[in-house]
A = this chain, B = another copy of it.
């Protein structure tokens, strides 16, 4: 298995950053954008001014709105919003050529109603392909500044993960391999819900002690729900899980943290959504995570609090007070 041509489906900040990062040694990269006008503009200007200004895409990157242009790659990378992934995978199935193309999901989310992970959705639609996932503390804005970062690629097939590690890693973008696909995916998806909670805490100015306690209890809750959803406890303490949780809760570059902060300061969700170019994944993921917790009968007080704020109009200050009023008891981890 060798990785030559790469197609990246999704032209948001992360898709653009990955195209820029991996476009080296004349490797052919195609980036698919949903919107034809945007695709043409990016192809023409070599920039993604809307989502990730400041970098120029090399000529080896073709930006297109035709999935057919992307169907011949050795590696097809999904960086679409989670709510669009199923639909795009179905459309890709109609045109995909290369029977051995590896699919790599960089989308962080859990499907509404089914509770499926993105790799499970891909497997259902394209069952003959090897499927890997990439997740870790990787803010796009810093990747394109060449600041050092680390991530995890997980695949059931160890050799596939190792091949991707060699093909896609570099000194400034270190890749660790793993076979814990469920944990790596769930860590990346669930952390966005807790980033909303941490943002609310910041918006309410509850302080660093309180936020650290909230993030710690978030990690325990992420592990509890993640294990019930099929993950391995230890793997959640790695880069995609603890690492991604920490960066998303603490960095000002994080969309989900920003949404939480604005909620904590008293803005309405509709108003916040209207002002943002892309949906913050934490919003749909909160609903999916809440559904999964209920179905599996797992105690998820923080997810419940965020759900109440987003979907039941609970005042953020009331939701956080409810969390804090829980009994003092033995620490359960």
Q: Does A328 contact B (CB under 8 A)?
A: yes
- Complex Cα gap A175–B330 (Å): 9
- Complex Cα gap A216–B165 (Å): 20
Given A142-B207, A174-B324, A324-B174: A213 and B149 interface contact (C-beta under 8 Å) = yes
* Contact residue among B152, B206, B244, B324 (Cβ-Cβ distance under 8 Å from A331): B152
Q: In A273-306, which residues have CB < 8 Å from any B CB?
A: none
Q: In A92-124, which residues have CB < 8 Å from any B CB?
A: none
Q: Does A139 contact B (CB under 8 A)?
A: yes
Given A208-B139, A328-B176: A239 and B253 interface contact (C-beta under 8 Å) = no
Q: Would A333 and B234 count as touching, CB distance under 8 A?
A: yes
Q: Would A238 and B209 count as touching, CB distance under 8 A?
A: no
- In this complex, the member of A136, A165, A210 whose beta carbon has the largest number of chain B beta carbons within 10 angstroms is A210
- Complex Cα gap A206–B172 (Å): 11
Smallest CB gap from A169: residue in B = B328
Q: Would A215 and B243 count as touching, CB distance under 8 A?
A: yes
* Contact residue among B152, B208, B219, B325 (Cβ-Cβ distance under 8 Å from A237): B219
- Complex Cα gap A52–B298 (Å): 42
Q: Does A64 contact B (CB under 8 A)?
A: no
Smallest CB gap from A254: residue in B = B208
Q: Does A80 contact B (CB under 8 A)?
A: no
Contact mask A136-176 → B, CB, 8 Å, 1/0?
11110011010111101000000000000100010100111
- Complex Cα gap A243–B331 (Å): 12
Q: Would A239 and B213 count as touching, CB distance under 8 A?
A: yes
Q: Would B206 and A328 count as touching, CB distance under 8 A?
A: no
**Other A-B pairs, 11, CB within 8 Å; known A137-B209, A142-B209, A148-B207:** A145-B207, A148-B206, A149-B207, A171-B324, A176-B328, A212-B243, A212-B250, A215-B246, A223-B237, A239-B331, A242-B242
